[in-house]
Amino acid sequence: MLAYDLIGSGLIALGALSIATMRVGAVWGVSARGQTISAQAAASEGAPIRDGDRQYHQHSDASVVELEGNMGPRLIIVSNRVAVPEPGNRQMAGGLVVAVKAALRNRTGVWFGWSGKIDETETVEPRIVEHNHITYAVIDLSKNDFEEYYNGLANRVLWPILHYRVDLQEYSRADHSGYMRVNRQFADKLSAFLREDDVVWVHDYHLMPLARELRARGHLNPIGFFLHIPCAPLDILRTLPHHDEILGALTYYDLVGFQTENDRDNFAAYLLAMPGAKKGRGLTFEVEGRQTRIGAFPVSIETATYARLARNAARSPFAKEMTESLTGLRLVLGVDRLDYSKGIIQRINGFNRFLEDNPEWRSHVTLLQITPRSRSDIKDYAAIENEVTTLISRVNGRYGEASWTPIRYVNRSHSRAALAGIYRAANVALVTPLRDGMNLVAKEYVAAQDPENPGVLVLSQFAGAAAELTGALIVNPHESDAVAAALKRALGMPLSERRERHGPMLQHLLVHNIELWAADYLAALAETRQRPSLVSDLLAFLGPSRSSADRWAIPDARRQA
C-alpha cells in the first residue's frame, strides 16, 4: 500500500447518482512540448494544451475557476493529499490516497486539495490537471499554512489524539488558528466552482470544519465526511483544547463515516455529551437544529485487481531478483509509513524475542521492513526514526552473521506493482500497529497471496482490519512474547491451515471491496440531507458582529442567492 505509481486512477460515481463528464475552461502553463508558458499565452491558444496524455488547465479569468459541465450531479472529493499525476511528483504513501484513488477509478468527477507544494505566492484559483477522466484541482500552501495547519494542528495534535497518544499532542493557539484559516481557504476555493447539485465528499482529519465553512457560504449540497484514522473515546477526545470547534464542526456534515463500529460509537458518545445534542432515529443525531448521521464504513481495496497485479508481479524481473536474493530464507514482511502509531518498535522487539527463543530459526528467516519516511519536520517522527534504526542495528549486530542479516531495512518507496510482488513472496506479514484506522497493508497482503499456497497474516488487535480479517493470527503488539509466538506459529503452519485461514478472508475482501465501500457510503449520503433551513439558521447565528478578523470565528458568509 505504501508506494504507488500515480497513473491510472479514476473517479467513482455514486452508485445511484450519475456524474457528468466535465469540461474544463481555458488553459495555462505547459505547452505541447512540456515547456512552461504564461497563462495569457496559453489562454490565447484557446484550447487545452496536451503534454503526452496529460492536460494542464487554468482558467483565463483569474477571479474564478470555472469547471464547466451541465449534465447532472458531480462528485467532488476533497482531501488534504491529492495524488496528482504530474511528472516529478513523489510517490505517495498512506491509506487515504490508496482508497480514494481506487474508489474513483473509471469514474468522472473532481478531486480537490493541496498540491503537496509550498509556495508563498497566493494562488487565486486552483491549478487544474486532467488525467484519465479525473479532474484534479489543487492549491499550494504557504510555509506558514503548512507549518500551522499540516505539521501543526493536523499532525501534532489531531493525529496523536485520535491515535490515543494524548501524551504526544502539542497544541498551540497559533496552530489552531492556522488550521481554521486553511479550512476557510479550501472553502473559498471550492465555493467558487461548487454547483447546487454537486455531491461533496470530504476526507480525513485535516478538514473537519470544512462543511461548516461551506454551509456558511450558502451551500446546501449533500456534504459527507469520512475519517480514515481511528476515533478515540470521549475522555481522550476531550483532551483536545476547544474540541467543540473542531470535532463539534463535524455536525455540519450530513453523514460522518468511520472505519469501525468502535470508532463510530466513540463519536456517538462524544455527540451525546455535546450540550443540547439529542439522539434521533437510528444513527441520526440532532445538534442545535442540525441533523447529522454517523455510520461505520470499513475501507477496503480493489481486491480482484490487486490479486491479479500480485500474480503478474510475481513473474517480474524485480520479484525474481528479490526472491533470488533471499537464497532460500523465509521472508517475514513489514510495510508501514514511518510513524509511531505503526508499532514498528514493538514488531522488532517481537522479532528479537523470536530469534532469542528459537535459535534453530536463526539464519533461516529474514524480516524485510519497508518504511518510507513521513512528516519528518515533526520531532516525534525524527525520534521514531532514530529509535527504529538503533534497534535494528542492535538486533542485526547481536544475531547477524557475515552471511546473514536478520533485518533488512529499506526507507525508499516502491511502485504498487513491485510491492504486490513482495507481498506475494512473503511467508508472513507482520502488521502490528498500536492503533490504526483500518490498515490496508493487511488487506493487500491477503489479496496478493497465492490461494494454493498462501502466507500467514499476523495482525494487531488494534488495527481496524482485525474486525474483518478473522483468519489472521491476532496479537497484542505490546506483548513481545505473543508476537514471537505468533511468528513461530505462522512460520510452521501447515498448508491446510494456511488455506483454511486465507480462503474466507479473500472471499470476504472480494465482496467487501473498495467499490462496495464507496457505493455504501454514497448511498447513505444520498439518503441523508440536512434540513434546508440550515443555512439561514447559520447565517442568523453568525450575525453582523462576527467578523473574519476574529481568529476563532467562522468567516462572514459569502451570501449567495
Q: Can you give the three-state secondary structure of 467-484, one letter per residue?
A: HCCCCCEEECCCCHHHHH
Q: What is the DSSP code (8-state) at residue 465? A: G
Closest Cα to residue 105, out of 75, 66, 81? 75
CA distance 470 to 499: 13
Q: In angstroms, what is the minimal distance from the CB of 377 to ligand G6P?
A: 11
The CB-nearest residue to ligand G6P is 94
Q: Dihedrals φ, ψ of 19, to 5°?
A: -110, 135
Nearer to ligand G6P, 23 or 375 (CB): 375
Number of Cβ within a 10 Å radius of residue 126:
26
Grid cell locating 219: 451551500
Q: In angstroms, what is the minimal distance from the CB of 547 to ligand G6P?
A: 32
Query: Residue 443 is inside which H or E element, if any?
Result: helix 440-448
267 CB contacts (<8 Å, ≥6 apart)?
231, 250, 256, 258, 294
Nearer to ligand G6P, 467 or 542 (CB): 467
Give me the catalytic one of 436, 502, 508, 512: 436
The answer to whether 432 touches 466, Cβ cutoff 8 Å, is no
Q: In angstroms, what is the minimal distance from the CB of 266 to ligand G6P?
A: 17
**Does the annotation count 228 as an active-site position?**
yes
Q: In angstroms, what is the minimal distance from the CB of 481 to ligand G6P?
A: 30
Q: What is the DSSP code (8-state) at residue 401? A: B
Q: In angstroms, what is the minimal distance from the CB of 99 to ligand G6P?
A: 9
Nearer to ligand G6P, 30 or 93 (CB): 93
3-state secondary structure of 444: helix
Footprint of ligand G6P on this chain (CB under 6 A)?
Answer: 81, 93-97, 204, 228-229, 374-375
Nearer to ligand G6P, 25 or 113 (CB): 113
Give me the catalytic one of 228, 414, 502, 512: 228
First-residue to last-residue Cα distance in the chain: 45
Q: In angstroms, what is the minimal distance from the CB of 276 to ligand G6P?
A: 31
Nearer to ligand G6P, 292 or 374 (CB): 374
Any bridge partners for residue 65, and if so which? none
Q: To 10 degrees, the CA torsion angle through 181, 184, 186, 192?
A: -150
Nearer to ligand G6P, 38 or 376 (CB): 376
The answer to whether 184 touches 216, Cβ cutoff 8 Å, is no
Q: Which residues are catalytic?
A: 228, 436
